[in-house]
């Protein structure tokens, strides 16, 4: 029955139950975001084990059926939304509203959304019974039977409502079309209960915390990031104003199956195992900051629903529905996955993926060169040690060690598809580890220390490795920050401390121990063979630098990783036998796959500016290097320390034939200085990104020929790559029509066989990146010139939307950097889009004594320079040091600068950007 119903509120007095009717008209309303027409009540016959035969229960729920009817269209299906504890159907209001929005209708049609209040919760009946998990799953089935839901139905759950919605799903497979989950869990999965729930269950806390007082509700509401507004907080509290109305809150907590002896354990176990056989699409939207249902429960769910799409909202917490917009991605996902689940539809989507055209080509495994040269005694990898000596492995020794380590890892339990986080500095040890994992088909997770502790922690938890291999410092971090994975030490401990250190760091094994185990197998002749990895399976998760927000995991399959290798080889003629100095970590890892003898200089690769000219020359001399790869920040310090070079070191650098630098633009003047150090080298500055490296290439002569323009000229597309532009309109929005026309400014698009497969557990980000079929949207802005060369003008988020139209910052920054006293410059927008003004922040030489407004003389020079490229400035600020990314030490964080400049110009205490 719809409309005017009665809720029954039970007050316990000893053994008696006194019922008091609460008319629907007296319920507090309106609730923010809830339409009055959504409210429904229904009396439902109960078949729950806890109820006597013939019992009916009164339900309250929100239903947008009238909104769907108003569209004049049939709904695609029904979202059945189940809240957890201590929320209610109000949690799902954005899905109710978004289901009939123009975007949802255009994407696939309207959806009916039914958001229930579970019995004893929200504004549903207070039954006076203790309802366990089995009862609640049955209750939900009773309601859907009474409603006559025939399907297609997508179950949606949060918190303990996730378990109940999945229980319903396993029992209604004929109606089920999909599963959507937000922070929840189905099974302890070997974990103990989270501390928050342990506290809530403690006999001294439970009655007071969950029933007598509203403490449990207040704590839950306080998890929102950002904080809930007062009216929203009041709406969440509305059904639970009295202790009597909080019985269900307390009973829900008491029903948590913490062990096999708990009455609800069998029901939980049935759901946990039953969902493994669900073959419908699944989507998980997750708040990683949740102190209860943390990422470990997401990882557990992914072992049960491995086909699920996932989006982790960095910074979001338990109430992810409140912290982020989940409605827009949910209906976009439904449009892609539920209306048509045929293989043909999935194939059409795959055909649109960047680089797909190259997938059918020949595939050469990453280990092919290593296997082909396993009998050679020439050097394969070389480490430069701080004392000036070297450590070397021949190709034969490297192949042997890779196989031994792979066998040892396999014996420990590492299998194909397992994720292995590698927290080991570049060099022989890391190279051996990487190729051992590739040998097994395990997925390497690379989040380097250059991300900083917080960035690394976010990355590792997000990737969710099964194993974590690290040096002792990394293992200490893993212990401190609770990083996931079975822990393996990269090196042996000293005998005196081995037992204690292994215990403290929770280490299951060490790499030398595993390699010794593999060696025993080899010598005994008992080692099983290794299978060749499927080209389409995942090979690596590589993290971006984090210069434009939290670092993103970028997934490469074996085919796409091999395509990166082949693109580099074809573009730069890196044939087997090349001698490579890898001052940039990715190329130390690719060296053996290229068949190149690779040396890692004596430097801290997480701080590129630690590479000196002498260290670079010594590394080159150690292998008679013909190729050098170093980051821009590293080359800045190489030039700065060039006076320290001895004649022999100068000679070693003179033997270099090719020098590559990528990661950020290099000033032409600096390249000329580098040329004097490596006079016989062709200097190239490829443009690329973690998602596709390289994309274009240009040499020093090409930079000179291109001259000055709007942005940085990064040259022509490399072998096998295509570059196009998606124009932007006057509001800075992308027009999704690729063009190759000259002088059209827009987002840079890339298509190539070596473009990443996807972003890891970032479904929304992945959809945006491939929303123009056949192309990867780079997030960079630029244009092509008449010769087909690409000019980069900045990032999309760096666009200035001024009253005079859209402007990009790089040309003005380049002009300002020609002012003699300016070392580096950034131009940022301040104010709302459409009315933004441009502000220049400059790093001067010498550095200013304090950050703030530039002197009148300097400001005049900077303004004149910027105006020469049509960028009027509202202000000029000086700063002692630009905030940069930690990986390259060269990408300026303009977003930080913009916020800092806004505070500074508003007269606030600005602090450091």
Q: Are 612 and 638 in contact (CB under 8 A)?
A: yes
Q: Is it the case that residue 565 has pLDDT exceeding 80?
A: yes
If one compares 449 and 685, the residue with the highest pLDDT of the two is 685
DSSP state of 761: T
- In this structure, the strands spanning 790-795 and 805-807 are unpaired
The Cα 747–Cα 727 span in angstroms is 6
The Cα 650–Cα 652 span in angstroms is 5
The answer to whether the bond into 86 is cis (omega within 30° of 0) is: yes
Place of tokens 């109940």: 164
Question: What residue ranges do the domains of the chain occupy?
Answer: 6-337, 373-531, 573-685, 699-797, 799-905
pLDDT given at position 887: 47
Kindly indicate the confidence band of residue 8, based on its pLDDT and cuts at 50, 70 and 90: very low
Average confidence score pLDDT of the chain: 90
C-alpha separations of 637 from 632, 880, 900 in Å: 9, 19, 28
- In this structure, the strands spanning 873-879 and 837-844 are parallel
Question: What kind of fold does domain 799-905 have according to CATH?
Answer: GMP Synthetase; Chain A, domain 3 (3.30.300)
What would the pLDDT profile of 385-406 be if each residue is shown by its tens digit?
998 899 999 999 999 999 999 9
Q: What Rg value do the Cα atoms of the chain yield, rounded?
A: 30
pLDDT given at position 346: 38
Dihedral sign for Cα 19, 25, 26, 32, please.
Answer: positive
Please give the structure tokens belonging to residue 118.
């579970």
Q: Are 445 and 422 in contact (CB under 8 A)?
A: yes
What would the pLDDT profile of 832-880 be if each residue is shown by its tens digit?
988 999 999 999 988 888 889 999 999 999 999 999 999 999 999 999 8
What would the pLDDT profile of 262-274 be if each residue is shown by its tens digit?
999 999 999 999 9
Mean pLDDT of 257-262: 86
pLDDT given at position 107: 84
What would the pLDDT profile of 157-168 be if each residue is shown by its tens digit?
999 999 999 999
Q: Are 378 and 395 in contact (CB under 8 A)?
A: yes
373-531 carries CATH number 3.30.1490.480: no
Cβ-proximal residues to 523 (8 Å cutoff; 6+ apart), any chain? none
Q: Is it the case that residue 890 has pLDDT exceeding 50?
A: yes
Q: Are 330 and 283 in contact (CB under 8 A)?
A: yes
Q: Is it the case that residue 347 has pLDDT exceeding 60?
A: no
Q: Is it the case that residue 722 has pLDDT exceeding 50?
A: yes
Q: 855's torsion region: left (phi>0), alpha (psi -120 to 50) or beta?
A: beta
Question: What kind of fold does domain 6-337 have according to CATH?
Answer: Rossmann fold (3.40.50)
Mean pLDDT of 416-426: 96
Q: Is it the case that residue 536 has pLDDT exceeding 50?
A: yes
Please give the structure tokens belonging to residue 873.
């400035």
Window from 244-258, 508-522, 890-904 with minimum mean pLDDT: 890-904
What would the pLDDT profile of 611-648 be if each residue is shown by its tens digit?
999 999 999 999 999 999 998 889 999 999 999 999 99
The Cα 867–Cα 812 span in angstroms is 8
The answer to whether domain 699-797 and domain 799-905 are alike in fold is no
pLDDT given at position 850: 87
CA 582 to chain centre: 27
If one compares 16 and 261, the residue with the highest pLDDT of the two is 261
What would the pLDDT profile of 708-717 be if each residue is shown by its tens digit?
899 999 999 9
Buried b (16+ CB within 10 A) or exposed e, 427-437: bbbbbbbbbbb
User: Which CATH number applies to 699-797: 3.10.510.20, 1.10.357.10, 2.30.38.10, 3.30.420.10?
Assistant: 2.30.38.10
Global pTM? 0.91
Q: Is it the case that residue 29 has pLDDT exceeding 60?
A: no
Q: Are 703 and 685 in contact (CB under 8 A)?
A: yes
What would the pLDDT profile of 783-805 be if each residue is shown by its tens digit?
999 999 999 999 998 999 999 88
The CB density around residue 363, as the number of other CB atoms within 10 Å, is 17
The Cα 332–Cα 325 span in angstroms is 12
For 698-831, strand residue ranges (E) read 712-717, 722-727, 746-751, 758-759, 776-784, 790-795, 800-802, 805-807, 822-830
Please give the structure tokens belonging to residue 820.
């003699």
pLDDT given at position 7: 34
What would the pLDDT profile of 71-85 be if each residue is shown by its tens digit?
999 999 999 999 999
Mean pLDDT of 746-773: 97
For 257-352, strand residue ranges (E) read 282-286, 309-312
Q: Is it the case that residue 351 has pLDDT exceeding 50?
A: no
Query: Which has the closest alpha carbon to 39: 70, 68, 5?
Result: 5
User: Which CATH number applies to 573-685: 3.90.1150.10, 3.40.50.970, 3.40.50.980, 3.40.190.120?
Assistant: 3.40.50.980
């Amino acid at each position: 029955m719809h409309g005017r119903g009665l809720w029954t509120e039970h007050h316990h007095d000893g053994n008696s139950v006194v019922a008091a009717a609460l008319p629907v008209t007296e319920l507090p309303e309106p609730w923010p975001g809830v339409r009055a027409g959504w409210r429904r009540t229904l009396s439902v016959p109960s078949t729950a084990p806890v109820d006597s035969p013939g019992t009916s229960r009164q339900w309250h729920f929100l239903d947008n059926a009238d909104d769907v009817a108003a569209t004049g269209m049939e709904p695609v299906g029904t979202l059945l939304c189940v809240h957890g504890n201590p929320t209610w159907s109000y949690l799902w209001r954005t899905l109710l509203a978004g289901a009939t929005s123009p975007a949802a209708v255009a994407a696939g049609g309207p959806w009916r959304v039914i958001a229930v209040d579970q019995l004893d919760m929200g504004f549903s009946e207070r039954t006076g019974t203790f309802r366990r998990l089995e009862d609640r799953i049955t209750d939900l089935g009773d309601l859907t039977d009474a409603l006559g839901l025939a399907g297609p139905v997508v179950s949606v759950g949060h918190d303990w409502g996730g378990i109940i919605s999945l229980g319903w799903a396993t029992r209604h497979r004929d109606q089920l079309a999909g599963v959507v989950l937000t922070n929840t869990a189905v099974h302890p999965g070997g974990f103990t209960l989270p501390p928050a729930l342990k506290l809530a269950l403690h006999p001294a806390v439970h009655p007071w915390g969950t029933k007598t007082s509203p403490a449990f509700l207040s704590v839950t509401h306080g998890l929102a990031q950002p904080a809930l507004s007062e009216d929203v907080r009041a709406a969440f509290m509305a059904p639970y104003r009295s202790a009597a109305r909080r019985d269900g809150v307390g009973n829900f907590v008491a029903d948590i199956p913490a062990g096999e002896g708990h009455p609800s354990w069998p029901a939980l176990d049935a759901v946990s195992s039953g969902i493994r056989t669900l073959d419908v699409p699944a989507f998980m939207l997750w708040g990683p900051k949740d102190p209860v249902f943390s990422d470990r429960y997401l990882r557990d769910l992914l072992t049960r629903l491995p086909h699920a799409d996932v989006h982790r909202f960095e910074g979001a917490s338990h109430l992810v529905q409140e912290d982020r917009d989940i409605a827009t991605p949910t209906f976009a996902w439904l449009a892609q996955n539920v209306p048509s689940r045929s293989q043909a539809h999935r194939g059409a989507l795959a055909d649109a993926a960047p680089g797909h055209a190259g997938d059918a080509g020949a595939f050469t495994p990453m280990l092919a060169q290593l296997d082909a040269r396993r009998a050679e005694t020439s050097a394969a990898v070389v480490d430069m040690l701080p004392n000036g000596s070297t450590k070397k492995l021949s190709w034969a020794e490297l192949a042997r060690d890779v196989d031994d380590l792979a066998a040892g890892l396999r014996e420990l339990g590492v299998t194909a598809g397992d994720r292995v986080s590698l927290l080991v500095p570049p060099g022989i040890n890391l190279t051996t580890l990487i190729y051992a994992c590739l040998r097994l088909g395990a997925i390497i997770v690379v989040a380097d220390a250059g991300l900083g502790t917080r960035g690394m922690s976010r990355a590792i938890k997000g990737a969710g490795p099964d194993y974590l291999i690290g040096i002792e410092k990394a293992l200490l971090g893993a212990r401190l920050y609770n990083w996931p994975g079975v822990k393996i030490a990269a090196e042996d401990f000293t005998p005196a401390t081995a037992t204690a250190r292994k215990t403290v760091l929770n280490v299951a094994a060490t790499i030398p121990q595993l390699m010794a185990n593999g060696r025993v197998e080899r010598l005994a002749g008992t080692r099983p063979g290794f299978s060749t990895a499927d080209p389409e399976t995942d090979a690596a998760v590589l993290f971006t630098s984090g210069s434009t927000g939290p670092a993103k995991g970028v997934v490469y399959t074996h085919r796409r990783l091999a395509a990166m290798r082949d693109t580099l080889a074809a573009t730069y003629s890196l044939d087997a036998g090349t001698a490579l100095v890898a001052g940039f970590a990715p190329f130390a890892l690719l060296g053996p796959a290229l068949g190149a003898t690779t040396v890692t200089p004596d430097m801290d690769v997480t701080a590129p500016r630690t590479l000196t000219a002498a260290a670079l020359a010594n590394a080159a001399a150690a292998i008679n290097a013909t190729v050098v790869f170093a980051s821009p920040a590293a080359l800045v310090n190489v030039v700065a320390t060039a006076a320290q070079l001895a004649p022999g070191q100068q000679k070693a650098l003179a033997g270099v034939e090719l020098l590559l630098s990528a990661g950020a633009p290099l000033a032409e003047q600096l390249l000329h200085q580098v040329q004097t150090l490596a006079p016989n080298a062709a200097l190239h500055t490829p443009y690329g990104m973690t998602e596709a490296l390289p994309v274009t290439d240009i040499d020093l002569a090409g930079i000179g020929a291109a001259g000055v323009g709007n942005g940085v000229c990064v040259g022509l597309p490399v072998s096998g790559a295509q570059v196009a532009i998606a124009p932007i309109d006057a509001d800075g929005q992308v027009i999704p029509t690729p063009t190759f026309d000259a002088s059209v400014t827009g987002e840079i698009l890339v298509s190539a066989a070596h473009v990443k497969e996807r972003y890891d557990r970032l479904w929304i980000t992945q959809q945006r990146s491939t929303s123009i079929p056949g192309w990867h949207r780079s997030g960079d802005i630029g244009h092509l010139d008449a010769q087909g060369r690409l000019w980069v003008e900045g990032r999309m988020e760096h666009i200035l939307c001024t009253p005079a139209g859209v402007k990009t910052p790089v040309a003005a920054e380049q002009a300002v950097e020609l002012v003699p006293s300016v070392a580096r410059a950034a131009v940022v927008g301040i104010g709302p889009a459409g009315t933004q003004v441009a502000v220049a922040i400059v790093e001067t030489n010498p550095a200013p004594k304090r950050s703030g407004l530039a002197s009148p003389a300097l400001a005049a020079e900077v303004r004149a320079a910027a105006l020469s490229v049509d960028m009027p400035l509202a202000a000029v600020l000086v700063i002692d040091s630009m905030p940069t990314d930690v990986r390259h030490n060269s990408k300026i964080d303009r977003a930080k600068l913009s916020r800092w400049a806004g505070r500074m110009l508003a007269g606030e205490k600005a602090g450091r950007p």
